[in-house]
Structure formats: C-alpha cells, structure tokens
Amino acid sequence: MPDAALGRVARVEAWALRAPIATPVITSFGTMRDRPAVFVRLTGDDGAQGWGEVWCNFPGVGAEHRARLLIDTVAPLVTGTAWTGCEVLWRALDRRLAVLALQTGEPGPLAQAVAGIDIAAWDLSARRAGQPLWRHLGGEAGRLGVYASGIHPDAAVATALRLHERGHRAFKLKVGFGSDSDARSLRELREALGEGATLMVDANQAWAPDTACAQIQALAPMRPLWIEEPMAADQPPEAWARLAANSPIPLAAGENLRGDAQFDAFIASRALAFVQPDVGKWGGISMCRGVAGRALASGAGYCPHWLGGPIGLLASMHLRAALGDSGWVEWDANPNPIHDRIKDRLPKPCEGKVTLGGEAGLGLDLDMDDFGSLVTWRGQHRH
C-alpha cells in the first residue's frame, strides 16, 4: 500500500478533555468515572491542518499525562523535517523513541501519542489532496458496518433496545462478572433481540487460561459471533491457538497487542477469527492498515477497536471502509458528553451500517471552544 505525502509540520497542538458522567463505565478490570480524550492537531507549513486522537482511557489519570508527553517529548521530533510520507513519519518517531520507551517503561503511552500524531498526519494529507480519508487510503466506498459496544449487564436489554432504535443491529455485551450472571445476561439479550441479532461478548482479559474454556462453554448456547479477550493478551499465541481449538465461540483480540511482530505472531497462529487493532493505541493509520491487510489476507476478520472520542471513531471507520465493507467497527454506546457536543456532525448508523460523507480527510473540523470547560490541559509546540 503506498504511503501518503505529508511535508513539513509547523505546529503540533494537544488538548486533554475530561467529561463528567452520571453512570460510571464499568469493565471487568476497571471503572471510568468520567470520559477522557486527547485530541491532536497538526498544522503544515502551508496552513493545512489534520486532527488525531490518542487512546487514554486507563489509568483514570492518564489523559493529561499523554497530552503532555505528546507536546513535550514527541512533538519536537515532528516539526522541522520535510516528511516524504505519513508512514515515514511514524517509522521515524518509533525509531527515535525506542530507547526512551525502554528507559521510561512507557512504551504504551509513547506509542499512543505517536498513533494520535499519525492519524492527524493522514487527515492532513487527505485534506490537502481534497479527498475523504477512505478514498485517500485507496478505498472504493465509504460504507461499513458498526456494532454497539460497552453494554454493561445492568439494564443490558433496555440499553440494547434503545440502541436498536438508533439504528444498531449488532451488540457487544461486557462479561467477566461471574459465570452465572454472564450467561443470564447474554440469554436475556438473545431473547429480547431475537435470533437475527448479531451479538458479541467481551471478557476484557478476565479469565485464567485454564478456566477460560469452561467460561466460554457457558456462553456458547446463545451463539455470540465472538468472545473478545477471554484471557490476558500477553498469553503466547500458542496458548491462544489452543484455546481457539477448544472454544465453541470464535476468538477476538487486538486492542492490547502492540507492534508488527506481536500482531503477526497472532495472525500466523490463526488463533483469532477477528483481529482488532486500535488506531489510537498503537500504529495509527500507517501501521494498523498493514495489520488489517495481513489479517484479511489470512482469512481473519478485521474489526477495529475503538472506545474513545469522535476523531478516533472516524479514523477507525475510514480505515475499515478503505479495506472494503466487511466486519464491524466498534461504536462506543456508553454516554460520552464529548461526543454529544458535536453529535449532529457525526455519521449515524442505519440498519447497522454507516455511510461516510465525501468531505476531505476525516470530514470533521473542530472548534475547541465547543468543548469549553471540558478541556483540562492544552499545549503546543511550534517549530
């Protein structure tokens, strides 16, 4: 896949945002008491701009740290060089930050900051070319499937029915809260939504390798399309392949994998029926498109992970559409006031599908004044 032209970046800006929510977002490993986000904007020396987003959900205090890291440590490596391409920039940053990642023990936050910059670089490049990002990436149509994600067992049926009314046709339930209650919640969902609904379950790495299979068996009668992260992502691919061979439900993972080598080992093991890289967590558009292409070539599905703000959601949808209309993009259905401030400008699902517009880049121009007091930190680096 060809790289996209970039050029010189004159300015890097970052904003950390934090939106209060009435009901915390609860997973099997932790709770989000508010909804954070980190937005990035690159400005080229010709004034062209691009937006990106950095994954920052956990730990709960991590958004401001990532925004500072991006401006203080990563941005000075971005400005001043005439980049021949977006992927060239990603690879240079990855190389330049490799020792620091080891020294600080923070390869994740650094990779996330770089991923956000990469998304912004692709948006800038596509805007400059005057075409939507999905077309800039070589896609033929801006159409894709989505699934509603983050459905907690409490009030799962009411939540899913509400989401059905909003155009969703696939629904992912959080599990890992106890075998009996997991099975009961999934059964209630299946009964309420009917046999035609697509259901998925996500255990968020809750189970030990030796108990995961039994936990999965209990969910199998409700025929979910996949079980996501039934065990820790750092279990070796061989352990995942063993579980896959014994699991009545296909396995999915990817949001907690980092680096081409790790993704390729999982793809080669054929353990995962669905590969789920997160565009704001590692690799940005530049590297996730390669992972996605190799996953699809191996016969696995590509279903981008995203649970965050609107820029990362758009980036995930453009990349998914660029590679064809198969699979589903994760559509975070939890309350998020950051989304709500601009929701009228985001595409909406219809019968489980989203059609992206023809606007250049990601199709979103943000006025940060719209977010007012939700901004907890802002910074910039100019060349």
CB of 202 vs Mg ion, minimal distance in Å: 4
Nearer to Mg ion, 106 or 202 (CB): 202
Nearer to Mg ion, 125 or 247 (CB): 247
Nearer to Mg ion, 34 or 202 (CB): 202
CB of 254 vs Mg ion, minimal distance in Å: 9
CB of 336 vs Mg ion, minimal distance in Å: 16
In the chain, beta strands by DSSP E: 7-26, 31-44, 49-54, 82-83, 143-151, 170-174, 198-202, 227-228, 251-253, 274-275, 301-302, 328-332, 353-355, 375-382
Please choose, out of 133-141, 189-197, 221-229, 338-346, the segment that lies near Mg ion by the rule CB under 5 A: 221-229
Which parts of 180-219 interact with Mg ion (CB under 5 A)? Answer: 202
CB of 290 vs Mg ion, minimal distance in Å: 21
Contacts of 359 (CB under 8 A, 6+ apart): 132
Number of residues that bind Mg ion (CB under 5 A): 2
Q: Residue 11, Cα to own-chain centre: how many angstroms? A: 25
User: How far apart are alpha carbons 176 and 198 in whole angstroms?
Assistant: 20
Which parts of 288-327 interact with Mg ion (CB under 5 A)? Answer: none
18 is written with which tokens?
């934090």
Local structure of 220: helix, strand or coil: helix
CB of 312 vs Mg ion, minimal distance in Å: 14
Residue 106 within binding range of Mg ion, rule CB under 5 A = no
CB of 204 vs Mg ion, minimal distance in Å: 6
Contacts of 47 (CB under 8 A, 6+ apart): none
In the bound state, the residue with its beta carbon closest to Mg ion is: 202
Contacts of 330 (CB under 8 A, 6+ apart): 146, 147, 149, 172, 276, 303, 304, 305, 306, 307, 316
Local structure of 182: helix, strand or coil: helix
Nearer to Mg ion, 64 or 202 (CB): 202
Nearer to Mg ion, 135 or 281 (CB): 281
Which parts of 222-281 interact with Mg ion (CB under 5 A)? Answer: 228
Nearer to Mg ion, 121 or 251 (CB): 251
Binding site for Mg ion (CB under 5 A): 202, 228
